[in-house]
Amino acid sequence: MSRYQTLVPRPVQARPAGGTFELTPQTPLVAAPGAEQAADVVRLLLAPLRLPLRPASAGDGLAVRLDPGIGHPEGYRIRVDETGIQLYASTLDGIRHATQTLRQLLPDAAWRTVPPPGARWPVECGEVIDAPALAWRGGMIDVARHFFSKHTILRYLDLFAMHRLNRLHLHLTDDQGWRIGSRRYPRLAEVASHRPHTQAGWFRDNPETDGTPHGGYYTLDDLAEIAAYAAERGITVVPEIDLPGHASALLAAYPQLGSGRHTVRIGWGISTSVVKPVPATVRFLADLIEELTDAVPGRYVHLGGDECPLHDCWGGDEEVARYQRELGLTGHVELFGHFMRELAGVLTAHGRRMVVWDEAFVGGGLLADSVVAAWRGDGVSRRAAAAGYDVVRCPVFPTYFDYAQSDDPDEPLSIGGPITLEDVAGFAPVPESWTEQERAHVLGAQFQAWSEYIPDPAHLDYMVFPRACAFAEVAWTGRPAADDFVTRLAAHLSRLDAAGCRYRPLSGPLPWQTGGTGHRRRVGGTPIAVVREHLERLAERADIPPDMATMA
């Protein structure tokens, strides 16, 4: 099979031709006038080949050209003949995509950190013409429930770039941990970043804990490094501070921001830890947002807005009631909306756009430029798009990769499921039934890897890949994966092997990936059909939904 027939995601056009060209230590990197920075991009992304790629301004070899005639800002063209390789794009992002596709055309060793002895780099002659359908092609990694090191995140940025995903959403705060170091508020690292132990098994089935401390956080310099590494690969980091709910860890460190006493939670589910929506809280959070935006220069900051049991948390607080009366608001949902809009204004002052989960749309917490990450199904996605808001499509089915990948009893512990590879491949991020105006507000889509049941990087790989390969194709093309996807994926998995990704094989888990008979054994969890029905019903409500756990 030609390597042009194994590309993931599938390009618009890919045509093999006879003959090959081989990259060697003598191959120059030829930059057309004005393409010197583009040549630097190519040199960076092809560094694992360990070729000199000496600069040249003319001649045959590996040539890079910025061509304004390629109209799409992320579009590109690759031409390979027996005299050399030509990469064309109108922007650096297009050159990045072209280079990643070129690596897929090379032998699989191109994905190793260092090539094995004797590695050679032949490329089959042919042509690729390509451009993405959607601007936002992302994935969310939850580092709050279980912390993943900086090096794991950097490795995932390489895996994202490999698949032309261009948004990394980091869920940095939740009830179980606060993962952002702060120079102004050091107790966030001292108190909120760790817990003494963690629930073991599926909590409703077995309320034991593992007895092992867990924690960690990223310094602001760590986050700046992650953002810079991402930018070199054409990826925007979208940091999330989840507010006003899911705030147990924050309130454990700074209890004056809420009501009652709070600790960093050891178990999962929706808590009654919600910050007070008062001016002192906004000032505190504005300080944190300033630190975060100084470290992470991307255009977007996610501020959560999900799963807030407002009445349980604000109903008996006189300070909250007094402030609500001062504002002339008639209920907690209106106060929630006011609070989210105030935080959106803080982001605007720093040149950022607020991203929120869809509850904030339902609760009136948006500015005109806010982005809705719609997780509760097609209905709320469409309502937000029809109201004129940009939407990132991330419905639980089929973009939540914390759900089991099959009904096989050997699958490891998860929240429920299944969501299969085929389910992901069949996802239509821009539904054909929507109006043209509604479809125009779909920025793109992203998958979610919530980490309640993902305790380490090996299991993260297992849960994310190869479903993320299918998702990358769906997000790139804007439609369900092509009929030949599984055939291409079977060949593509050898690239993941070379990259060191510990994915789930197509035939099922390897013996050491199964759940076994201990705390990681599979339990029934919540069937995905029940989840879908429940969330669609909640999304039609005109208030903030209650604890989702009540349905289990």
Indicate the range of 24-28, 62-66, 199-203, 511-515 predicted with least confidence.
199-203
**Same domain, residue pair 106 and 142:** no
Q: Which comes out higher in pLDDT, residue 466 or 316?
A: 466
Three-class DSSP category at 507: coil
**What per-residue confidence (pLDDT) applies to 538?**
82
Q: Yes or no: say if 343 and 240 are a contact pair by the CB < 8 Å rule.
A: no
Q: How confident is the model at residue 301 (pLDDT cuts 50, 70, 90)?
A: very high
**What per-residue confidence (pLDDT) applies to 206?**
67
**Same domain, residue pair 112 and 140:** no
Q: What sign does the CA torsion over 177, 291, 260, 328 have?
A: negative
**Same domain, residue pair 243 and 146:** yes
Residue 469 has pLDDT above 90, yes or no: yes
Counting residues of the chain whose pLDDT is more than 70, the rounded percentage is 98
Residue where a domain stops, chosen among 94, 114, 130: 130
**Same domain, residue pair 181 and 114:** no
**What per-residue confidence (pLDDT) applies to 258?**
96
352-396 pLDDT tens trace: 999 999 999 999 999 999 999 999 999 999 999 999 999 999 999
Average pLDDT over residues 94-111: 98
Domain that holds residue 75: 3-130
The CATH number linked to 361 is 3.20.20.80
**What per-residue confidence (pLDDT) applies to 202?**
84
Strands (DSSP E) contained in 352-490 are 353-357, 371-374, 390-393, 416-417, 442-449
Query: Which residue, among 400, 374, 406, 403, has the nearest Cα to 387 in the 3D structure?
Result: 374
Q: Which sequence positions are flagged as catalytic?
A: 174, 246, 307
DSSP string spanning 305-350? Answer: -----HHHHHTT-HHHHHHHHHHT--SHHHHHHHHHHHHHHHHHHT
**Same domain, residue pair 146 and 113:** no
**Same domain, residue pair 253 and 287:** yes
Q: How confident is the model at residue 546 (pLDDT cuts 50, 70, 90)?
A: low
**Same domain, residue pair 170 and 95:** no
Residue 526 has pLDDT above 90, yes or no: no
Helices (H), 409-466: 421-425, 436-440, 457-464
**Same domain, residue pair 47 and 116:** yes
Q: How confident is the model at residue 549 (pLDDT cuts 50, 70, 90)?
A: very low
The CATH number linked to 16 is 3.30.379.10
Q: Yes or no: say if 482 and 473 are a contact pair by the CB < 8 Å rule.
A: yes
Residue where a domain stops, chosen among 88, 108, 130: 130
**Same domain, residue pair 341 and 265:** yes
Beta bridge partner(s), residue 123: 21
Q: Which comes out higher in pLDDT, residue 398 or 530?
A: 398
Q: How confident is the model at residue 204 (pLDDT cuts 50, 70, 90)?
A: low
Q: How confident is the model at residue 540 (pLDDT cuts 50, 70, 90)?
A: confident
Q: Yes or no: say if 251 and 264 are a contact pair by the CB < 8 Å rule.
A: no
**What per-residue confidence (pLDDT) applies to 192?**
98
**Same domain, residue pair 372 and 403:** yes
Indicate the range of 58-62, 137-141, 283-287 predicted with least confidence.
58-62
Indicate the range of 29-33, 144-148, 308-312, 400-404 predicted with least confidence.
308-312
Number of domains in the chain: 2
Beta bridge partner(s), residue 14: 128
**What per-residue confidence (pLDDT) applies to 551?**
35
Residue where a domain stops, chosen among 86, 102, 130: 130
**What per-residue confidence (pLDDT) applies to 550?**
39
Residue 223 has pLDDT above 90, yes or no: yes
**Same domain, residue pair 396 and 459:** yes
**Same domain, residue pair 156 and 102:** no
Q: What sign does the CA torsion over 67, 70, 76, 78 have?
A: negative
Average pLDDT over residues 409-431: 97
Distance CA 288, CA 283 (A): 9
Half-sphere exposure of residue 286: CA atoms within 13 angstroms, side-chain side: 17
**What per-residue confidence (pLDDT) applies to 205?**
62
Give the predicted TM-score (pTM) of the model.
Answer: 0.97
